[in-house]
Amino acid sequence: MKRIAILISNVGKGSNLQAIVDAVNSKKINAKIVAVISDTNDAIGLKHAINNKIPIKICANKKDLPQVLKRLKPDYIALAGWKQIILDEVIEFYPNQILNLHPGLIPNSVKSKVLAPDGTNTLWNKGLLAEKAVQNFLDKKSTYAGSSIHLLTKEFDFGPVLERAFEKIKKNDTVKTLYARLKNKEHEIYIKALQKLTNAISQDAAVLIIDGGGRAHALVNKYLQSKHVKRVIAIPGNDLMTLSKNVKTYPQIKTTDIKQIVNICKKENVDLVDVAQDDAIAAGLVDTLVKSGLKVFGPTKAAGRVEWDKAWARNFMKKFKIPHPAFKICKSQKEGVEFINSQREGTWYIKAAGLAAGKGALLASSNSEAQDAIKQMKKFGNAGRIFLIEKCINGEEFSSFAIVNGKKFAIIGHAQDHKTVFDGNVGPNTGGMGCSSPPMVITAKIGEQIKSIFQKTVGGLVKVGRPYLGMLYLGGIIDKSGKVFVIEFNARWGDPEAQVILPSVKNDLFELVTQTILGKIPKITKDNSYRVVVTAASRGYPINHSKVIGKEIIGLSSLLGHPERSEGSLKIFGAGVKVKNGKYLAAGGRLFYVLGEGKNVELARRVAYNTLSQVSIDGDNLHFRKDIGLQDLQRLLSPK
Ligand code: GLY
């Protein structure tokens, strides 16, 4: 159980102290108050300490505080009306452990601003205390007042913000009326912040996931397994996830509809938003949500540029010596064609620089095919206006994922995606036809190279002023000599990689993510199973699957079982499936994913393919690859 020391003085009435004591007594906060420390004997708050039999320490001189604290060994120090300066040595000794309440809206970075729920700028009130700060909201004619709970740093009235409260200012408000209402909210956010830090987020957190397909479903399942999470909301989500208890979706809302999403966060009282979808990141959803005071897991638009601008990303890799294929950035068809004409015959990738739903990279096995591919870039519209010509590296592809807190990271897993629609890696690229994990090709030596790439990338992003918070996806290739090159970075989980990696993670995902947001990187623990996930698609995908839309998927309902079945055992992830009058209908290209788990690839494949053999659509209209995990199966059966 965490230990909290509360610091008070004769300023104020001790109402924050009382709120914390009440929350500990009612077990809302899972912690022990080891002492109330006051700098005088006449602090009103001391009576709350006496009434609740909490030890009292009087520390008249701020220089004595370090010694007093050392004996108490607190995990967190809550400032609740303490009027003296906290010495730097205390801040250094308790990094990210001292909580302060500031009557203003502290931004996340010195240059940014916090937006009020109505979109107006709010006031930081740096250097203003209590009534003076509240007066400032009135003087400046703000529409909202507000307060922040932040962790103390050496920078005055600044530091990581744990919680913010907003209070709408009424027409006839005085300092007294406004402050009375704001104080109630301050108590609430103080408790909320301590709950989060002491891991007693009770059992009722609401998580919003911004995404819709199988990846979103894997995230929904994982969050629902958390002891802290009561409800999960997904935008847009999909029908199959709503078969689980406590899941709500907003199918009509786009992941880029920032205004609506902010409204839903407020309406649903969301505790955490996990932005898992590329368009949303590129649109700057994370930036706005953070400014609105929400707790968000996902990179800002600036950091997400590693994905949404592949030309920028290649220059970034070059700058930080991150191994990558030779590339040429082209701004026109003419430039591309001239470049190819100047090159020896070769195999190339022609890639749209912008986001193209995972389909923007075209393989060209000769210079003349490259010229055709260059001409196709215009079909990607704005995303293909700038494109790259890259030398194709022969080798084995993989995807690796790291959870990143801005400065540090932990690798959470590796997988192998199968991008093309047909067996043997032929046919057009898709969003992903299946994954296997953990890939046997990732040896310790390869793992070291991957780690070094993440190190250079996370460090490089800090150096270019774009610190990255969220899941970072490294799409890599291992050439014949065993060297790893970056094919691309993505600013999110992979789909369907999330479906094979998330179930292998033993950590509580809500804890993992909230700790990461707070600047920590918890140790990741994994199970030992091998997993294969196979994508079930409509025949014709990704070119034209329209004839399958609306047809019933036979066998799916009995596989899914009763809607009340526990989230933990659900092994099917939905995407383009509509549930109508109890029937499961094809509603997209990628329909659903079947996960097989086992102690090795052979067993995992057997489970996945046995399951799939029980499903069909009108004859032969269900398509899936039969070779997911086959490479590892061959390695298993005939090791070198
Ligand atoms: N698995 C490919 C992607 O998520 O982009």
Tell me the CA–centroid distance for residue 521 and ligand 1, in Å: 24
The verdict on 232 and 381 lying in the same domain is: no
Residue closest via CA to ligand 1's atom 4 equals 494
The verdict on 155 and 42 lying in the same domain is: yes
Residue 60 counted as domain residue: yes
- Pick from 152, 174, 198: which residue ends a domain? 198
Residue 176 burial (10 A CB sphere; 0-12, 13-18, 19+): exposed
Residue 474 counted as domain residue: no
Measured from the Cα of 497, ligand 1's closest atom is 1
Q: How far is CA 552 from the centre of its chain?
A: 34
Question: What per-residue string of b and e applies to 344-371 under the rule 16 or more CB within 10 Å gives b?
Answer: eeeebbbbbbbbbebbbbbbbeebebbb
Retrieve residue 520's tokens: 């920590």
Residue 558 counted as domain residue: yes
Q: How far is CA 118 from CA 148, 296, 512, 561, in A?
A: 18, 19, 31, 44
The verdict on 332 and 221 lying in the same domain is: no
Measured from the Cα of 492, ligand 1's closest atom is 4
Residue 398 counted as domain residue: no
Residue 30 has pLDDT above 80, yes or no: no
Ligand 1 neighbourhood includes 495 CB (under 6 angstroms): yes
The verdict on 183 and 135 lying in the same domain is: yes
The verdict on 283 and 346 lying in the same domain is: no
Residue 419 counted as domain residue: no
Q: Residue 368 sits in a domain of what CATH number?
A: 3.30.1490.20
Tell me the CA–centroid distance for residue 211 and ligand 1, in Å: 13
The verdict on 603 and 532 lying in the same domain is: yes
The verdict on 34 and 75 lying in the same domain is: yes
What's residue 360's pLDDT? 86
Tell me the CA–centroid distance for residue 21 and ligand 1, in Å: 48
pLDDT tens digits, 61-73: 889 999 999 999 9
Residue with tokens 């470049």: 339
pLDDT tens digits, 453-497: 999 999 999 999 999 999 999 999 999 999 999 999 999 999 999
Ligand 1 neighbourhood includes 358 CB (under 6 angstroms): yes
Residue 607 has pLDDT above 70, yes or no: yes
Give the Cα separation of 264 and 294 in Å (integer): 12
Measured from the Cα of 490, ligand 1's closest atom is 5
pLDDT tens digits, 103-142: 999 998 888 889 998 889 999 999 998 999 999 999 999 9
Cis peptide before 251 (omega within 30 of 0): no
Measured from the Cα of 432, ligand 1's closest atom is 1
pLDDT tens digits, 142-177: 999 999 999 999 888 899 999 999 999 999 999 999
Give me the number of domains the chain comprises: 4
Ligand 1 neighbourhood includes 576 CB (under 6 angstroms): no
480 within 8 A of 393, measured Cβ to Cβ: no
Sign of the alpha-carbon torsion through 215, 217, 218, 223: positive
Choosing from 490, 493, 628 the residue with most ligand 1 atoms within 8 A of its CB, the one to mutate for a pocket test is 490
Ligand 1 neighbourhood includes 488 CB (under 6 angstroms): no
Residue 540 burial (10 A CB sphere; 0-12, 13-18, 19+): middle
Ligand 1 neighbourhood includes 490 CB (under 6 angstroms): yes
Ligand 1 neighbourhood includes 497 CB (under 6 angstroms): yes
- Pick from 391, 412, 428: which residue ends a domain? 391
More confident residue, 571 or 7: 7
pLDDT tens digits, 337-354: 999 999 999 999 999 999
What's residue 571's pLDDT? 87
Residue 103 counted as domain residue: yes
DSSP string, 307-362: HH-HHHHHHHHHHTT-----EEEESSHHHHHHHHHTS-S--EEEEESS--TT--EE
The verdict on 79 and 141 lying in the same domain is: yes
Tell me the CA–centroid distance for residue 432 and ligand 1, in Å: 6
Q: What is the mean pLDDT of the chain?
A: 93
Residue 190 has pLDDT above 80, yes or no: yes
Measured from the Cα of 495, ligand 1's closest atom is 4
Ligand 1 neighbourhood includes 432 CB (under 6 angstroms): yes
Ligand 1 neighbourhood includes 494 CB (under 6 angstroms): yes
What's residue 451's pLDDT? 98
The verdict on 24 and 86 lying in the same domain is: yes
Choosing from 277, 417, 419, 628 the residue with most ligand 1 atoms within 8 A of its CB, the one to mutate for a pocket test is 417
Residue 316 counted as domain residue: no
Close Cβ partners of 232 (under 8 Å, ≥ 6 residues apart)? 206, 207, 208, 209, 220, 223, 224, 246, 247, 248
Q: Residue 608 sits in a domain of what CATH number?
A: 3.90.600.10
Ligand 1 neighbourhood includes 257 CB (under 6 angstroms): no
Using the 8-state DSSP alphabet, how is residue 498 labeled? H
Q: Residue 116 sits in a domain of what CATH number?
A: 3.40.50.170
Retrieve residue 225's tokens: 């397994």
What's residue 81's pLDDT? 87
The verdict on 289 and 357 lying in the same domain is: no
What's residue 109's pLDDT? 85
In percent, the amount of the chain with pLDDT more than 70 equals 98
The verdict on 274 and 176 lying in the same domain is: no
Tell me the CA–centroid distance for residue 473 and ligand 1, in Å: 9
What's residue 292's pLDDT? 81
Tell me the CA–centroid distance for residue 526 and ligand 1, in Å: 22
More confident residue, 291 or 591: 591
pLDDT tens digits, 407-427: 999 999 999 999 999 999 999
The verdict on 336 and 385 lying in the same domain is: yes
- Which region among 254-268, 357-371, 521-535 has the lowest average model confidence (pLDDT)? 357-371
Q: Would residue 374 be called left, alpha or beta, if left means φ above 0 and alpha means ψ between -120 and 50 degrees? A: alpha
Residue 405 counted as domain residue: no
Question: What domain range is 267 assigned to?
Answer: 205-297
Residue closest via CA to ligand 1's atom 3 equals 494
Alpha helices (runs of H) in 377-469, residue ranges in sequence order: 444-463
Q: Assign 220 a pLDDT band (cuts: 50, 70, 90).
A: very high
Tell me the CA–centroid distance for residue 461 and ligand 1, in Å: 21
Give the Cα separation of 578 and 131 in Å (integer): 55
